[in-house]
């Protein structure tokens, strides 16, 4: 009798699970639908477009989808696609390599009749302060010591930063003039240095509207001419300073306002990061009494260099890809995305163009998940281009795929936390987005992407409305 009762109890529990699970899912779907309907009714979206896709993170089944097949500007949510592709294709232990070597011979007096050359393969962390082993002072001191240890006391030649692999310093197509002079719009080179940026500090005036002086300019880059047109903003106005320049510019125009109470270093894009590396290494050698007969140079000089005699002094390996992806997503570093995009293209087919990288990412996810190029139409790896168009369904499918992979823990760790949810954000003019994963208090797990384009009003106000919508997943 006890056995019969036990069996009956198990059967009842099983039947109850079958009945309640769809009802539970239906309740969640209705909750999201109500929240999305309310979200779309706000005046700020009268002329805008929003798309939301929510999948069951465990089964991949669609819980809710609206405008899921419409391609929208992604902003920095594009970074999760680049991250997932790099981790899946290159592997979490992938490392970039930078080589220091010299050409020619060292005579009996310690004179190198040749050149000191640093050759890059696209490492975005070289000179970065985010890792102990990549900091500029650490690398420069090590390289200067290695030159000394090689018995070199003077150089009849120059220090050359070989940036030829990616054809110098370039910008992805679609990036705009108001971005490219600032740190977040820095170009990509095969020999990046200090995240291709540098800082300036201002002294605001006591009078609003008058000039804010640069009190500490780029002493590390005296070859640049910074034309300061920045004025002092009122207390609380913050940082409204923008730099205007392009790759290989020697003039950088700095405009906008700097708040009276602001104490912040303004980061600008380095117009020629490879040259800056050569310049800094050359200066470091000079400090140790090792002088060069020629000025520092970049890869454009390599065609005239005799490479029949060369000796490697150092091979520097970047942090592993999992550590790069962490900062890439946590701090939304556009340079890292472009470096990963090019690494994917170069590893796949020896190509180095941004468009090549975008093509191979599209091809990769078409083969993996059947995502069409019209669903994943990207112009870069970071999302800074306003021309990117991706559907929320495509992005959510890639996020869903990531959760089944061995590298997922490091990918998940790289996602920032907003609104008490793990998700990557994206913000550019007129576009906001969030994509992430979340497990609610009932144990339901979701994968989701929410993109909004052409909204009216402030970004902060729209962001709060988006958070309110995503609260339906909690």
Ramachandran region, residue 222 (left: φ > 0; alpha: ψ -120 to 50; beta: rest):
alpha
- Would you say residue 156 lies in a domain? yes
Q: Quick one: pLDDT at residue 16?
A: 39
Same domain, 405 and 332: yes
Within a domain: 73: yes
Per-residue pLDDT tens over the stretch 280-339:
999 999 999 999 999 999 999 999 999 999 999 999 999 999 999 999 999 999 999 999
Provide the β-strand partners of residue 417: 422
What is the structure's pLDDT at 9? 42
Rounded CA-CA distance 459/194 in Å is 30
Examine residue 52 and state whether it is found in any structural domain, yes or no: yes
- Do 306 and 158 fall within a single domain? yes
Residue 221 binned pLDDT confidence (cut-offs 50, 70, 90): confident
Distance CA 446, CA 473 (A): 7
- Computed over every residue of the chain, the mean pLDDT equals 94
Residues 330 and 457 in one domain: yes
Same domain, 161 and 281: yes
Question: Would the pLDDT of 20 be above 60?
Answer: no
Give yes or no: residues 221 and 81 share one domain: no
Q: Are 265 and 199 in contact (CB under 8 A)?
A: yes
pLDDT at 219 over 80: no
Looking at the chain, the whole-number percentage of residues with pLDDT higher than 90 is 92
Give the separation between CA 185 and CA 193, rounded to whole angstroms.
Answer: 14
User: Do 198 and 283 lie in a common domain?
Assistant: no
On whether both 160 and 277 belong to a single domain, the answer is: yes
Residues 187 and 331 in one domain: no
Q: Do 258 and 357 fall into the same domain?
A: no
Angle at 52 between CA 419 and CA 87, to 5 degrees: 75
Residue 17 above 90 pLDDT?
A: no
**What CA–CA distance (Å, rounded) separates 365 from 376?**
9
> Is residue 104 assigned to a domain?
yes
Are both 361 and 429 inside the same structural domain? yes
Residue 420 has pLDDT above 60, yes or no: yes
Q: What is the pLDDT of residues 428-456, one digit of tens each?
A: 999 999 999 999 999 999 999 999 999 99
**Position 366 in a domain:** yes
Domain membership flag for residue 377: yes
Considering only CA atoms, give the Rg of the chain: 26
Task: Supply the CATH number for residue 399's domain.
Answer: 3.40.710.10
* Domain boundaries, position 106: 95-169+272-319
Domain count, the chain: 3
Residues 372, 399, 405, 360: is their CA dihedral positive or negative?
positive
User: What mean pLDDT do residues 25-51 have?
Assistant: 94
pLDDT confidence tier of residue 177, bands split at 50, 70 and 90: very high
Report the C-alpha gap between 58 and 39 in whole angstroms.
27
Which residues does 341 contact at the CB level (< 8 Å), separation at least 6? 82, 354, 357, 358, 361, 380, 381
Task: Report yes or no on 213 lying in a domain.
Answer: yes
5 in a structural domain = no
Mean pLDDT confidence for 97-107: 98
Task: For residues 185 and 220, state if they share a domain.
Answer: yes
Rounded distance between C-alpha atoms, residue 417 and residue 429, angstroms = 22
The CATH number given to whatever domain includes residue 113 is 3.50.80.20
- Is the distance from CB of 152 to CB of 108 less than 8 angstroms? no
Q: Are 67 and 204 within one domain?
A: no
């Amino acid at each position: 009798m006890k056995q019969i009762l036990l069996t009956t109890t198990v059967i009842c529990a099983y039947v109850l699970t079958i009945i309640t699970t769809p009802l539970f899912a239906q309740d969640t779907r209705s909750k999201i639908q109500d929240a999305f309907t309310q979200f779309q009714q706000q005046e700020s979206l009268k002329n805008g477009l929003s798309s939301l896709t929510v999948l069951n993170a465990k089964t991949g089944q669609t819980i809710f989808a609206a405008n899921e097949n419409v391609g929208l500007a992604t902003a920095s949510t594009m970074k999760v696609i680049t991250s997932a592709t790099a981790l899946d294709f290159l592997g979490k232990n992938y490392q970039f390599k930078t080589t220091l070597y010299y050409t020619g011979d060292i005579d009996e007096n310690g004179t190198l009749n040749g050149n000191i050359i640093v050759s890059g393969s696209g490492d975005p962390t070289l000179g970065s302060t985010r890792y102990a082993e990549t900091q500029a002072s650490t690398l420069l001191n090590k390289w200067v010591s290695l030159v000394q240890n090689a018995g070199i006391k003077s150089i009849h030649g120059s220090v050359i930063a070989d940036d030829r692999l990616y054809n110098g310093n370039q910008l992805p197509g679609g990036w705009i003039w108001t971005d490219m002079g600032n740190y977040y719009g820095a170009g990509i080179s095969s020999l990046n240095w200090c995240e291709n940026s540098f800082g300036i500090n201002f002294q605001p005036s006591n009078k609003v509207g008058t000039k804010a002086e640069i009190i500490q300019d780029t002493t590390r880059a005296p070859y640049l001419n910074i034309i300061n047109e920045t004025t002092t903003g009122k207390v609380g106005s913050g940082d409204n300073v923008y730099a205007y320049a392009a790759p290989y510019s020697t003039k950088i125009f700095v405009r906008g306002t700097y708040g009276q109470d602001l104490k912040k270093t303004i980061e600008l894009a380095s117009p020629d990061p490879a040259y800056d590396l050569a310049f800094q290494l050359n200066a470091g050698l000079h400090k140790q009494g090792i002088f060069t007969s020629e000025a520092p140079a970049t890869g454009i000089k390599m065609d005239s260099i005799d490479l029949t005699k060369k000796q490697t002094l150092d091979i520097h390996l970047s942090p592993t890809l999992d550590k790069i992806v962490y900062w890439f997503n946590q701090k939304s570093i556009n340079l890292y995305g472009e470096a990963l995009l090019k690494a994917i293209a170069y590893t796949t087919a020896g190509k180095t163009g941004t468009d090549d990288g975008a093509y191979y990412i599209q091809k990769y996810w078409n083969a993996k998940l059947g995502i069409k190029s019209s669903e994943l139409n990207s112009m870069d790896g970071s999302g800074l281009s306003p021309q990117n168009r991706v559907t929320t369904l495509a992005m959510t499918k890639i996020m869903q795929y990531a959760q089944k992979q061995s590298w997922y823990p490091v990918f998940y760790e790289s996602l920032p936390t907003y609104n008490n949810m793990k998700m990557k954000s994206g913000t550019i003019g007129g576009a906001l987005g969030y994509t992430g994963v979340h497990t609610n208090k009932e144990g339901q797990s979701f994968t989701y992407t929410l993109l909004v384009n052409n909204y009216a009003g402030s970004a902060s106000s729209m962001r709060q409305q988006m958070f309110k919508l995503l609260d339906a997943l909690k």
